[in-house]
Structure formats: C-alpha cells, structure tokens
Amino acid sequence: MKKILVFVSSLDGKTTKWDNPFVRSWSSKADQSYFIHLWKKSALIVAGSGTYDAEPFKPYEGQHIVVMTRNVSRYQTKAIPGQLEFSDETPAQLVQRFVQKNQPQMLIAGGAQLATSFLTAGLVDELWLTIEPKIFGQGNSIVIAEKLDIQLKLLNCEKLNEAGTLLTKYAVL
C-alpha cells in the first residue's frame, strides 16, 4: 500500500498562519482546488483529531476516513460505520489493518502530530507538499519538535499559478 503524506506550507515551513488552524483561510485557490480534487478521489484518508476538530468533515461516497485520536469515546456520536471512524491505533497497526484489506493507497492528510508519528515509524512513501509564496514567521510546522533525519528525493514539481504556488512530490528514501 502506498502511503502519501500531503500538506500545504508557507515558504518558511508553516502549515498554519499564526494560531489559525484553518488552512483554507490562507492557501491559494489553486491549492484548495488541488486538495479538494485529491480528497474526493481518495478512497482511504487518515487525519488527526486536531485537523478534524478545526474543520469537521464527512466522507464522500466510497470513502473511508480514519481520524486518529487518543480519546475515541469523545467522537462516538460522529462515527459513520464503514465510512468515518475514530481510532487510537498506532500508525503501524492502522497501516497493517488496511494492507490486510488490500487497500492500494492511504492519504495521510493533516496534523503535525500525525505526520510525525507516521514519519518516525517509517510509514510514509511519498510527501506531496504545496508550497505557497508566503512567509508567516509563526505557525505550526509539518512535524512536531523531534530529532528527525528523513531523506527525500524530488519526483515532480509543478507551478500551480502565476503567484508561484508550487506542488512538489517527494519520495521518502
């Protein structure tokens, strides 16, 4: 199963603008269109509870969304059997479960804690990063403060608009 981590970031590496968790408030229309298209066509999506809390979402037809949380009971009333679930599994347990179901691809979408947990477990095959030509100075990063040494190789880079928004795709080595 191919595991793809997807993020949008400012040039200075911020995934949020200051303390605002809503990416849609600052990312370009080109990035938003790209992300919505990617989200709609993905059959399996994993997100963190912080991402879900900032902008609760529901699955499209044929989608399975897993929201990773330490407090599954908090979300019991929001679950939709077979479509939207809340899990306290480790990244390795989650990946193994969907490998056994022959799922071809997992989109890992959002949250520095979630990204760090998948990266440190060695469970990310590709990182798809939209880079917006903005500098915020403060905000969240792709990962939490951990000592990491993850090597990447650029697979593709595409200019999305005249402002210079770039869609980059990297293989995790």
pLDDT digits (tens, 9 = 90+) for 47-70: 999 999 988 999 999 999 999 999
pLDDT digits (tens, 9 = 90+) for 89-113: 999 999 999 999 999 999 999 789 9
Read out DSSP for the chain? -EEEEEEEEETTS-SSBTTB--GGGTS-HHHHHHHHHHHHH-SEEEEEHHHHHHS---PPTT-EEEEE-S-GGGGGGG-BTTTEEEE---HHHHHHHHHHTT--EEEEES-HHHHHHHHHTT--SEEEEEEES---SSS--SS-S------EEEEEEEE-STT--EEEEEEE-
Each of the 173 residues of the chain gets a pLDDT tens digit; together they read 999 999 999 999 999 999 887 777 899 999 999 999 999 999 999 999 999 998 899 999 999 999 999 999 999 999 999 999 999 999 999 999 999 999 999 999 978 999 999 999 999 999 999 999 999 999 999 999 889 999 999 999 999 999 999 999 999 99
At residue 109, the pLDDT reads 95
All structural domains of the chain with their residue ranges? 2-172
- Under CATH, to which class is 2-172 assigned? alpha beta
At residue 146, the pLDDT reads 84
Q: What percent of the chain has pLDDT over 70?
A: 100
